[in-house]
Structures are given as C-alpha cells and as structure tokens.
Amino acid sequence: MDIEYVLPQDIEARSMEIIEAELGEIILPEKVAPIVKRVIHTSADFEYARTLCFSEDAVSSALQALQQGATIVTDTNMGLMGINSAGVQQLGCQKYCFMADAEVAKKAKEKGTTRAMAAIDKACHITTPLIFAIGNAPTALLRLEEHIKCGRIKPALIIGVPVGFVNVVAAKERIMQCGVPFIVARGRKGGSPIAAAICNALIYMLTRKTK
C-alpha cells in the first residue's frame, strides 16, 4: 500500500475527509455529524455512526451550558485529560474528576458504594450547569438516574458511553429514560476516549468556527 504524504497540520482534516467518504450511504443529521465523526476519528470504529443515540435537545442543551460556564465531570482521569483544556478555558468552563478525591474514597467506603457513585454524589453540589462524561463506570449512570428521579440534579447533558459487560447496556438504556439530554453509545462499546471525544466535539463547535 502506498504511503500518503500529508502535512502535520493537515492530518486531522484529511482524516475527516476519509471518514466522510467511508460513511458511504450513511447520512448524519447536521447537528450531530461533527460529534459522530470525532468519535470515529478517535476510535476508527464506524459502528458508532449507528449506535450513538442523541436526545432531541442534547446538542443545543450542551452548547448552551458550555456558553454559560458549565462544569464537565468525568468518571476517569483519562477522560479528564482527554478533554481539551484550552477549549475549556476559552469558554470559561471547568472540568473535574473526583475519583481520586480523598473525601469521595471515604464516603464510598462508609456507604459501601463504588467510588464512581460517591463521585456523582459530590458532583451534585456543583451549582453551575453540569455535563457528565461517563466512559467507564455504569454505576455512575445508575447513581445519576437515582439523583435525577429524586429531583436532586438536572444535568444539561449526560454522555453515557461506559465500556464493558456488567450492567453497561442496562445502565445506558435506563439513562435514556430519565428525561434529561443525553448522548449514549448503545451496546457494550465506549470508553473514556469516546467520552472525551464527544466533549471535544461540542467544545470545537463553539471554539473552532471553521470546523
């Protein structure tokens, strides 16, 4: 196979051209296309073009929240590091992962829960618009469902893309019934890089005017 020579600054644009071509007959709605393409760009997995599910208000709610200085809460430090810091700063937003927080570890031990659940409990006290980017822990989604149903929290967006086998599919399906904006990867696939990619796609919609 021949090598394609592409300037470093043009690699991303060329990758997006390839993705667009290989999507073939799949037509993505305009408002979600940048998100789906960024996820495919991150994973090289075209199945996401069919399995990523969006609530009707997901994109508009997320963009409004970001413009209002949202806080993005992730369930892994990998996801946290993958979210574009310059874009977050440009928008006046914040990003956090509470999984290594000493208070969270203590609360999880006392209550016999996972750290992911205790981290969600901590996030409930944040007063800015909230975007949750869950790429690892289905228990985080289940705790979010509990808080939402009890009226303790109403996120601007839940990104539900945990990867794995135990309770992953069920947790994703349940979060889509909570009445809050969501972007969910149906099935077992997902992961922290996917959660970060979705966040970045939303951020770039506001900070990269030509993209």
Let me know if residue 149 belongs to a domain: yes
**Which residue range(s) make up the domain with 175?**
49-205
Q: Please give the pLDDT value at position 1.
A: 83
Q: Please give the pLDDT value at position 91.
A: 98
Let me know if residue 182 belongs to a domain: yes
Let me know if residue 21 belongs to a domain: no
**Active-site residues: which are they?**
41
Return the CATH number at 146.
3.40.50.10230
Question: If we measure between CA atoms, which residue out of 196, 203, 168 comes closest to residue 91?
Answer: 203
pLDDT > 70 in the chain, percent: 99
Pairing of strands 52-54, 71-74: unpaired
The answer to whether 73 touches 123, Cβ cutoff 8 Å, is: yes
Let me know if residue 44 belongs to a domain: no
pLDDT along the chain (211 residues), means of 10: 90 94 92 97 97 97 98 97 97 97 94 94 95 97 96 96 96 97 98 98 88 39
In three-state form (DSSP H/G/I as H, E/B as E, the rest C), the secondary structure along 78-123 is: HHHHHCCHHHHHHCCCEEEECCCCHHHHHHHHHHCCCHHHHHHHHH
Let me know if residue 39 belongs to a domain: no
pLDDT in tens, 14-65: 999 999 999 988 999 999 999 999 999 999 999 999 999 999 999 999 999 9
Q: Please give the pLDDT value at position 210.
A: 46
Let me know if residue 5 belongs to a domain: no
Distance from C-alpha of 10 to C-alpha of 40, rounded to nearest angstrom:
17
Let me know if residue 118 belongs to a domain: yes
CA distances in angstroms from 73 to 29, 93, 110, 140, listed in the order given: 27, 11, 23, 11
Task: State the total domains in the chain.
Answer: 1
Average pLDDT, whole number, for the chain?
95
Let me know if residue 1 belongs to a domain: no
